[in-house]
Amino acid sequence: MGATVTRAPRQINRTYEWIRLRAHALKRKASPLNLRKAFESDPHRAEDMSVRTEHVFFDYSRQLATDKTMDLLFGLADAAGLKAKIEAMFNGEKINVTEGRAVLHTALRQQDNTPVYVDGENVIPQVREVLEKIKTFSNEVLGGERTGVTDRKIKNIVAIGIGGSYLGPQFLSEACAAYAKEGMDLRFVANVDGHDFKTVTKNLDPAETLFVLESKTFTTAETMKNARTAKAWMRERLGDSPEVVKKHFVAASTATEKVKAFGIDTDNMFGFWDWVGGRYSATSAVGMLPLALYIGYDRATEILEGACWMDQHFRHTPFSRNIPVLSALIDIWNINFLGIRTRALLPYSQALDKLPAHTQQVEMESNGKGTDLWGRVVRYFTGEVVFGQAGTNGQHSFYQLIHQGMKVAADFIGVINPQYQVGEKTAEEVDHHQELSSNVLAQPDALAFGKSEVEVINELVSQNKLSPEAIAGLSPHKVFTGNRPSSVMLIEELTPFTAGALLAWTEHRAAVKGFIWGINSFDQWGVELGKQLGVKIRNLFFRSNADSTFRVDAARDDLNPSTETMTNAFISGELPR
């Protein structure tokens, strides 16, 4: 694996284990697994296909898998050298081979001082140093010792980033909002669309606002455009003294000179390292700095503790009881052998509403690859489409499709105890959380077991309202085929700790699939081409800004005619005529 491999191994789809799984899947296609019958014939199925831990319960008994399926999947994991690849990641080997980097987001939340080496240097003291700096800074802001330029207490934190510098921290901030320090507000600006900045900063008092700029290189186009707009916004309201920027801007970055040139005091720069990938950076300064300012440093470190718990579970638990590994293997079974290449992530907690968006990025940017680690074209699907929304909102949005339309795998997340107790429990009335929970318990069964035509007809007849002809016409529309796969994860309560565990579950699940597929889950060259072409178009806009008569010419400016027409529309401010 990684830099130690000198000869490319056989691609995973050419292994004996993959071929056995394909044969198994063909038998299942000829004689599909019926989940109703599977539960009826095996009273221990739910127990055997679930994992119980002190913090998380995971049930995959409604997946279209049998004991034999799982044994074959474990064999595939062994054939891919999964255990060794997991250890290589935790040990700091440079498994991101295209960029020559280690992948050590796990070191960011390690709870002991066991050394982890990169290029012969133990990185744990560096991690501790940054955390200590975040602790001091956040305590001073929350305690009122560090104020804005007018000496007023900072109450509003605006994090400016995009992608990995945005989605993970935003998920954690919403999950942990119930733990926010009194009077503190945390907002995010990501989209370069000016509407985002205007909306987020609306009604903010600049004297009480701190911007956290999040860019490792301090060159990310969208982030730096928003950063310059934030600087102008602040100076327009508080004056152009250098102290305005020094007291109202901090940075999570490694680009010391660029941070200094922006006007930020480098004492207020919080570093991270090239072994922290963007979408895996939520437990670095990128996430921990704004979160410590929002919920307090001690609560923020509980996120690290929860992520570390999942890290250790992932690293040390046998695959048959390992939640991230089981999740990933089931995904591979669905994607590569059953042809189910879309997954819905359905958290039944409004505070987890941003988890699907973060998971979408982690999965689709990590594993949407067309070549393997050795540059060979892959002849099998890598990655899946991930989407989702908090329940019960999603039930009135897209559940119709997953119940009676295309087959979509689903992951449900339930929270046993709510963050807020709303409503009273009586013999006649359930409270809000019981209403929510009744749905997260019912939906997996509806997907798995469905409703047969006989059941539909019997139900319609019992209502004694319709003629036989009407029943015959209506019944096909009310049939649910069932056998739609899902898993359920339960947590006892949504806390910073369990939010951190969910974050790590998502990260490791994506990594396992990449390890087995033999791809690099830690680079993202696919986003580069659009950026390069964007620079070219941007330069044309520069020219039009300097010359009001300038218009793009396809031949001269090396553009295709379609882009010529549309670029000129943006320059002129009018639709093509």
Q: Are residues 203 and 323 in the same domain?
A: no
Question: How much is the pTM?
Answer: 0.96
Identify the domain boundary among 279, 303, 327.
303
Q: Are residues 134 and 223 in the same domain?
A: yes
Query: Is 101 part of any domain?
Result: no
**527 band by pLDDT with thresholds 50, 70 and 90:** confident
Query: Is 468 part of any domain?
Result: no
Q: Are residues 347 and 273 in the same domain?
A: no
Q: Is the dihedral of CA 325, 329, 334, 339 positive or negative?
A: positive
Number of domains composing the chain: 3
Identify the domain boundary among 269, 303, 337.
303
Residue 6 has pLDDT above 80, yes or no: no
Q: Are residues 272 and 171 in the same domain?
A: yes
Q: Considering only CA atoms, which of 255, 275, 3 is closest in space to residue 124?
A: 275
Q: What φ, ψ does residue 104 adopt, rounded to 5°?
A: -130, 40
Query: Is 375 part of any domain?
Result: yes
Query: Is 308 part of any domain?
Result: no
Planar angle of CA 412, 405, 459, nearest 5 degrees: 85
Q: Are strands 50-52 and 56-59 parallel, antiparallel or unpaired?
A: antiparallel
Average pLDDT across the chain, whole number: 96
Active-site residue, from 365, 384, 507, 564: 365
b vs e for 159-195, b when ≥16 Cβ sit within 10 Å of the residue's Cβ? bbbbbbbbbbbbbbbbbbeebbbeebebbbbbebeee
Q: Are residues 389 and 533 in the same domain?
A: no
Q: Are residues 71 and 115 in the same domain?
A: no
Which are the contacts of 195, defined by CB distance < 8 A and separation ≥ 6? none
Instruction: Return the H-helix or E-strand segment holding 490.
Output: strand 486-493
DSSP labels, 128-195: HHHHHHHHHHHHHHHTTSSB-TTSPBP-EEEEE--GGGTHHHHHHHHHTGGGPPTT-EEEEE--SSHH
What is the rounded end-to-end Cα distance, in angstroms, of the chain?
57
Q: Furthest-apart CA pair in the chain: how many Å?
A: 82
Active-site residue, from 68, 198, 425, 531: 531
d(CA 575, CA 538): 19
DSSP labels, 228-267: HHHHHHHHHHH-S-HHHHHHHEEEE-S-HHHHHHHT--GG
pLDDT given for residue 2 in this prediction: 46
**Residue 420, SS3 per DSSP:** coil
Identify the domain boundary among 475, 494, 519.
519
d(CA 103, CA 523): 10
Active site residue 531: yes
Query: Is 456 part of any domain?
Result: no
Instruction: Return the H-helix or E-strand segment holding 288.
Output: helix 285-295
Residue 313 has pLDDT above 80, yes or no: yes
pLDDT given for residue 198 in this prediction: 98
At which residue do the structure tokens 């009881």 appear? 321
**Residue 513, SS3 per DSSP:** helix
d(CA 303, CA 298): 9
Q: Are residues 291 and 338 in the same domain?
A: no
**530 band by pLDDT with thresholds 50, 70 and 90:** confident
Active-site residue, from 396, 425, 432, 536: 396
Residue 506 has pLDDT above 70, yes or no: yes
Q: Are residues 169 and 69 in the same domain?
A: no
Mean pLDDT of 472-493: 97
CATH number at residue 52: 3.40.50.10490
Query: Is 328 part of any domain?
Result: yes
Q: Which long-range contacts (CB under 8 A, 24 or more apart) does 43-52 make?
A: 51/321, 51/322, 51/323, 51/326
Query: Is 545 part of any domain?
Result: yes
Q: What is the pLDDT of residues 15-66, one digit of tens each?
A: 999 999 999 999 988 899 999 999 999 999 999 999 999 999 999 999 999 9
- The residue count of the chain comes to 577
Q: Considering only CA atoms, which of 520, 538, 522 is closest in space to residue 530?
A: 538
For the chain, what percent of residues have pLDDT higher than 90?
Answer: 94
Active site residue 68: no
Query: Is 158 part of any domain?
Result: yes
What's the one-letter identity of residue 292? A
Mean pLDDT of 68-74: 98
Q: Are residues 252 and 395 in the same domain?
A: no
pLDDT given for residue 30 in this prediction: 86
**Domain range for 390:** 2-93+317-419+430-449+485-519
**295 band by pLDDT with thresholds 50, 70 and 90:** very high
Contact 17, 75 (CB under 8 A): yes
- Tokens found for residue 385: 């489409």
Residue 3 has pLDDT above 70, yes or no: no
Residue 5 has pLDDT above 70, yes or no: no
Mean pLDDT of 542-554: 95
Peptide bond into 392 cis (omega under 30): yes
Residue 1 has pLDDT above 80, yes or no: no
Q: Are residues 79 and 120 in the same domain?
A: no
The full 3-state SS of 59-113, as one line of letters, equals ECCCCCCCHHHHHHHHHHHHHCCHHHHHHHHHCCCCCECCCCECCCHHHHHCCCC
Contact 277, 473 (CB under 8 A): no
For the chain, what percent of residues have pLDDT higher than 70?
Answer: 99
Q: Are residues 78 and 128 in the same domain?
A: no
d(CA 71, CA 79): 12
Q: Are residues 359 and 410 in the same domain?
A: yes
Residue 228 has pLDDT above 60, yes or no: yes
Contact 124, 110 (CB under 8 A): yes
